[in-house]
């Protein structure tokens, strides 16, 4: 929702092109439900479970891997070029996670489990 209003302003001003005007109401509502409501629901539960399993420090650091996974997937599945800048970014993300998590963080274990 944070980008919804700026996008709408840019659309109405003619700064961006969109096929939204020709989409049916059912298509728009389906996308809103799947990407909005279900996306938030699934990601919220997934993140809570990740914090339980890995602990808060590791869970937060692992979320930094999302852009790296998206970039790697684009190279593998969409035939995007692997550039030096992409490689440097992946190295920086990896080194940052290693430095942030290090060997001192432990996997969270429930007492009595």
Burial class (CB in 10 A: 0-12, 13-18, 19+), 104: exposed
Domain around 32? 24-54
Two structure tokens written together for 112: 């009595």
Query: DSSP labels for 54-88?
Result: H-HHHHHHHHTHHHHHHHHHHHHHS-----HHHHH
Do 43 and 64 fall within a single domain? Answer: no
Asked whether residue 1 carries a pLDDT value surpassing 70, the answer given is no
What distance, in Å, lies between the first and last C-alpha atoms of the chain?
Answer: 40
| One domain, residues 50 and 61 | no
Does residue 99 share a domain with residue 61?
A: yes
pLDDT the model gives residue 104: 53
Nearest to 99 by CA among 47, 64, 68: 64
Q: Are residues 49 and 63 in the same domain?
A: no
Question: Do both 83 and 43 map to the same domain?
Answer: no
Confidence of residue 80 (pLDDT cuts 50, 70, 90): very high
pLDDT in tens, 8-56: 888 888 898 888 778 899 998 998 888 888 888 898 898 899 899 988 8
Task: Indicate if 48 and 72 belong to the same structural domain.
Answer: no
Asked if residue 36 is part of any domain, the answer here is: yes
CA 29 from chain center: how many Å? 22
How far does Cα 61 stand from its chain's mean position? 13
Q: Look at residue 113 and tell me if it is in a domain.
A: no
């Amino acid at each position: 929702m944070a980008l919804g209003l700026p996008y709408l302003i840019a659309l109405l001003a003619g700064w961006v092109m969109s096929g939204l005007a020709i989409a049916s109401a059912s298509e728009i509502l389906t996308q809103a439900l799947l990407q909005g409501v279900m996306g938030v629901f699934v990601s919220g539960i997934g993140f809570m479970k990740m914090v339980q399993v890995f602990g808060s420090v590791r869970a937060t650091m692992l979320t930094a891997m999302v852009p790296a996974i998206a970039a790697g997937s684009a190279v593998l599945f969409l035939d995007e070029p692997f550039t030096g800048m992409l490689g440097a970014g992946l190295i920086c993300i990896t080194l940052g996670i290693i430095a942030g998590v290090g060997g001192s963080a432990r996997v969270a274990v429930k007492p009595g489990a």
